[in-house]
Amino acid sequence: VYPYYENPDFLSKQIETWCSYPSALRDRLRVVVVDDGSPKHPASKVVTQKYPFPLSLFRIEVDVRWNWIAARNIGMHVTSSDGWHVLTDMDHVVPEGTLRTLIYGVHDKDVIYRFSRIGVKEHPHPNSWFMTRAMFWRIGGYDEACSGFYGTDGDYRRRCAATAKILIMRDPLVCREHEGDASTRLYKRKQPQHAHAKKIMRARPKKGWKPRTLTFPYHEVRL
Residue range 58-73, pLDDT digits in tens:
999 999 988 999 999 9
Q: Provide the pLDDT for residue 14.
A: 94
Kindly give the parts of the chain with pLDDT less than 50. none
Burial readout 149-171 (b: 16 or more C-beta within 10 A, e: otherwise): bbbbbebbeeebeeebeeeebeb
Rounded to 5°, the CA angle 8-3-67 comes to 110
Residue range 27-82, pLDDT digits in tens:
999 999 999 999 999 999 998 767 889 999 999 999 998 899 999 999 999 997 78
pTM of model > 0.85: yes
Q: Provide the pLDDT for residue 48.
A: 78
Residue 37 one-letter amino acid: G
